[in-house]
Amino acid sequence: MSKSRVIDQESRRLIREELLTNILVEAGAGSGKTQMLAERMAAGIAAGVYQVEQLAAVTFTRKAASELRGRFHLALEAELAKARGGARPGTTRDPDRIARIESALSNLERFFAGTIHSFCARLLRERPVESGVSPGFTDLDEAQDLELRQRAWRDFITRARAAGDTDIMALVAADVQPRDLDSAFATICVNDDVEFPAGAAECPDAAKAWKALETFWKELQKHLPSDVDPATTCPIQRAGREFRGQLDV
């Protein structure tokens, strides 16, 4: 037997039998992590180390959670067969072990398997008073969450404009439209636990920048035709033509 095979078997044994040890498993896709987790939980139930209502298996997707729940059910059935002596002839029956597994199977709905969002939602529903939320709240999917954020952002901009908010007015005066900040707002929402300090840098001197721009523009005009052809393919002429129109405005 190869060394890697021996290591793999020993790792699987540890997962199934070292029930009081915290274990971190790193393995590639399709290597059997979900199956080993199901077998570990079933073994813990059979040994009386875990209680089905105290188990929480957190996954990334609902599909993975459904698969894990199914495998856990099958793993419990396999443990029950072994406990009854059906897997190995001559095995001594353990009534307590059988009772623990049968109890877990009859209360399988009390086992939690789901995403981190559904796990947090379950905790909030169990303790609505302490958390200060309505027990009847619903989870938003990604599409609903995006729609709600966009609506909240639009409502905020509308109210700020109507109230003459100085920051919004300053943005508009600088030719920065609120919609230009949509991506920045989305980034902040996705990373709401990150602080985005404005910094202590001084505001740039617009007068100096404007003076430098005027000097550059006067020099550039000497090299541009007085009437730029709209169909020109020269990128400098196109940029100069566009800037001339913006400057007039």
CB 114 within 8 A of CB 63: no
Confidence at 87, pLDDT banded by 50, 70, 90: very low
CA gap 98, 47 in Å, rounded: 10
How confident is the model over 197-203, as a mean pLDDT? 78
Q: Does domain 3-131 have CATH number 3.40.50.300?
A: yes
CA gap 246, 8 in Å, rounded: 69
What would the two tokens of residue 26 be?
């790193």
- Domain coordinates in residue numbering, the chain: 3-131, 142-190, 208-248
CB 8 within 8 A of CB 32: no
Average pLDDT value over all residues in the chain? 86
List own/partner pairs for 178-182 with CB under 8 A and 24 or more apart.
182/150, 182/153
pLDDT in the model for residue 74 = 95
How confident is the model over 219-248, as a mean pLDDT? 84
How confident is the model over 54-69, as a mean pLDDT? 90
**Rounded to an integer, what is the distance from CA 64 to the centroid of its chain?**
15
What would the two tokens of residue 184 be?
């920045």
DSSP for residue 179: G
| Residue from 170, 213, 7 nearest 178 by CA | 170
Reported as a single tens digit per residue, the pLDDT across 1-52 is 677 788 888 888 999 899 989 989 888 888 889 999 999 999 999 999 999 9
Listed in sequence order, the residues at least 6 apart from 18 whose beta carbon sits closer than 8 Å to its beta carbon are none
CB 168 within 8 A of CB 178: yes
pLDDT in the model for residue 113 = 93
**To 5 degrees, how large is the angle CA 8–CA 12–CA 16?**
170
pLDDT in the model for residue 40 = 94
pTM of the model: 0.56
